[in-house]
Structure 1
Amino acid sequence: MSSDSLDNTDRKLLDALQHDARQTVADLAQLVSLSPSPCWRRVRQLEESGVIEGYHAQLSRAKLGYGVTGFVHLQMDNHSPDIMAAFEREVVALPQVLSCHNLSGRYDYQIEAIAPDLESFSQLVRVKIRSLPGVKEISTSFSLKEVKRAGTLPVN
């Protein structure tokens, strides 16, 4: 299923589920003007096609003790498939890493990571990230204020 094959009802369901995934099928059905059975089938189809990848709780970083969010830009010294695969495998295993993107431009990767404080973040970068396979250069910056965190995707 692609975005082109989604109709207005699918889009309304996706939007509603992104804002509150705990809604009952009855509530969703009423929202999109369907009876519960066809609504449930549509949701299942969206799940089975991979459009809906899962359901998650959004947690508070601050209340869980993560006071620092930082971005680490990495330049690799070796771009062989084996080294890149090893790097990616190891970075995925770091629980403090929220996201990692392979980039175009000067840096090869950008990592978004969290830590309780600056000392912990420093340890993460100096001990763990610097020792990842193929890392040549590191540049780090910190978030001073989160302006927006997209919890939803546009479905229109």
Structure 2
Amino acid sequence: MTTLDRFDLALLHALQRDARLTLGALSEAVSLSPSQCSRRLARLERDGIIQGYALRLDPRALGLAVTAFISISMDKSRMDRPLDAVAALLARDEVIECHTITGDHDFVLKVVVESLGALSAFLAEAISPLEGIQNVATQVAMDTLKSNGPLKTR
């Protein structure tokens, strides 16, 4: 495991807020030289702490008005490997997150679609045919107050 010092944490903090910072602006923000910043960034990337740089899009601007959380319970007595059952879902563009969870359900999916009709179609076409489904619960987000917030680095 990589040991992170205060400069590493400051770099991560600054980049989570603006991944487009130039090396010069980043070095000013964390009080290091550009060469020191560059070496540290390369190490953080190599060690897998920085997993990549991504573009965040506004779903509504793309016509994706509905965010839903779908909880799935699997009948484990009928399935040797429950993860195999949801593998096809992971390849679908509508599914933007999938987590195994504790509690009454086994998986929770975050799905983003155009409309309630599209959500209904997704449930019918992608979820219902899955082998070993025991229970499905769907919750539709009324509004998103915070999304993709930065991870605590300090």
How many aligned residue pairs are there? 154
Deviation at 1:31?
1.6
Question: Letter of the aligned partner of 2:86 in structure 1?
Answer: E
Residues 29-44 of structure 1 mapped to structure 2, 5 A cutoff: 29-44=27-42
- 1:111: Cα distance to partner? 1.0
Amino acid at match of 1:121: L
* Structure 2 residue matching 1:74: 3-state secondary structure: strand
> Is the 8 Å Cα contact of residues 72 and 110 (structure 1) preserved in structure 2?
yes
Deviation sequence 1:57-92 (CA, Å, 0-9, x none): 110000011011111111111367743231232121
CA distance in 2, matches of 1:109, 1:147: 23
1:26–1:79 distance in 2 versus 1, CA, 3 Å: farther
User: What is the 5 A alignment of 1:50-65?
Assistant: 50-65=48-63
2:135 is the alignment partner of 1:151:
no
CA RMSD of aligned residues (A): 1.6
2:120 is matched with: 122
Q: CA deviation at 1:147?
A: 1.9
CA distance in 2, matches of 1:79, 1:93: 25
User: Residue 138 of structure 1 corresponds to which residue in structure 2?
Assistant: 136
User: Is the Cα contact below 8 Å between 1:98 and 1:114 reproduced in 2?
Assistant: yes
Runs of 4+ in 1 over 2 A off after TM superposition: 78-83
Aligned 8 A contact 1:74 1:108 in 2: yes
* Structure 2 gap segments, 5+ residues each: none
Aligned to 2:109: 111
TM-score (norm 2): 0.93
Please state whether the residue corresponding to 1:14 is helix, strand or coil. Answer: helix
CA contact (8 A) 1:102 1:110 kept: yes
How far residue 131 of structure 1 moved from its aligned partner, in angstroms, is: 1.5
Given candidates 8, 11, 17, the residue that maps to 2:9 is 11
Structure 1: unaligned runs, 5 residues or longer: none
Residue 109 of structure 1 deviates from its aligned partner by 1.1
Q: Percent identity?
A: 34
